[in-house]
Amino acid sequence: MTVDAPILSLRDVTQLFWSRSPDGWRRRALRALDGVSLDVHEGETLAIVGESGSGKSTLARLLLALNRPSSGQVCFRGTDLRRLGAAGHADYRRSVQAVFQDPSSSLNPRMRVSETLGYVVRRHDLATAQRQAAFIEGHLASVGLTPADSFMGRYPSQLSGGQQQRVAIARAMMLAPRVIVADEPLSALDVSIQGQVLELMRALKERSRVGFVVISHDLHAMEAIADRVAVMHQGRIVEMGRDVFTHPKHEYTRLLLRARLPADPRAARAQLAAAVAGPVAVD
């Protein structure tokens, strides 16, 4: 493995999904990703934006090795995932963690918080049996679940959506990952909670220097935390950079930015008012 290589990279990756035509005789290919190349550097927050169906989740699943590409390479520290040895694979499994959209389905409803997190501690040998509770409570506290011991015995149904997502983030953070791939981590949450979880991600990044690949429809939120933004359209990255929102180069990015106006009702109302109050015919 190369030391200075990006922690994750995609090299000319294509992902096809096959389906049958309605008459059942022909197979049709859908090109969910089309020649995508991308580097994720250690410690950076890379946002992936784009309309529904543009391939964002497909890209995330490849980075997490939940899918295999139809062609091209997915690399961890410069080595193709298929060529990682046992030690490299173990390093990858700890260094790259996932947080998903709906915390209630990513946490086992029949397991208490202490059991869900305890399972990971034992599986990865993160603390001795005597130290396990203190280790878990330390991680709960570091994602803002305090007093930590009051959360240990609770089931997911006894937590709010925001608290569930914090538990999911604590579970990922316990392994001291270098990057967390988060597919729409905010969109199942109440709007009032989204800002808090976003703030937590920013705090973790500062404290632990963990990077994020974060997928979101919320361009405002991404503008607030991203170091770089990749804009996806029909399976391709059409634009990538630091000032994508302030200086969009691609017409599709401009469209995306315009489409977000209704998400900001005051701005939309002001625009509408200006349009309505526009040139008035006087005779």
Ligand X SMILES: Nc1ncnc2c1ncn2[C@@H]1O[C@H](COP(=O)(O)OP(=O)(O)OP(=O)(O)O)[C@@H](O)[C@H]1O
Contact between 55 and ligand X by CB under 6 A: the answer reads: yes
User: What is the token pair recorded at 2?
Assistant: 């190369």
Binding segment for Mg ion among 20-28, 55-63, 79-87, 236-244 (CB under 5 A)?
55-63
User: Minimum distance from CB of 193 to ligand X (Å)?
Assistant: 20
Return the closest-CA partner of residue 233 out of 4, 98, 104, 49. Answer: 49
Strand (E) or helix (H) holding 91: helix 86-95
User: Minimum distance from CB of 57 to Mg ion (Å)?
Assistant: 3
Nearer to Mg ion, 67 or 114 (CB): 67
Q: Which residues contact 268 (CB under 8 A, 6 or more apart)?
A: 261, 262
User: What is the token pair recorded at 121?
Assistant: 């501690």
Residue owning tokens 């030391």? 3
Name which of residues 6 to 25 contact ligand X (CB under 6 A).
Answer: 17
Contact between 56 and ligand X by CB under 6 A: the answer reads: yes
User: Minimum distance from CB of 28 to Mg ion (Å)?
Assistant: 21
Binding segment for ligand X among 54-62, 68-76, 147-155, 269-277 (CB under 6 A)?
54-62
Q: How far apart are the C-alpha atoms of 251 and 265, rounded to whole Å?
A: 23
Choosing from 9, 45, 57, 116, the residue that interacts with Mg ion (CB under 5 A) is 57
Choosing from 8, 13, 32, 74, the residue that interacts with ligand X (CB under 6 A) is 32
Choosing from 20, 53, 190, 224, the residue that interacts with ligand X (CB under 6 A) is 53
Beta strands in the chain (DSSP E): 8-20, 27-40, 45-50, 71-76, 79-80, 96-99, 179-183, 211-215, 228-233, 236-241
Residues lying near ligand X in the complex (CB under 6 A) are found at 17, 30, 32, 50, 52-58
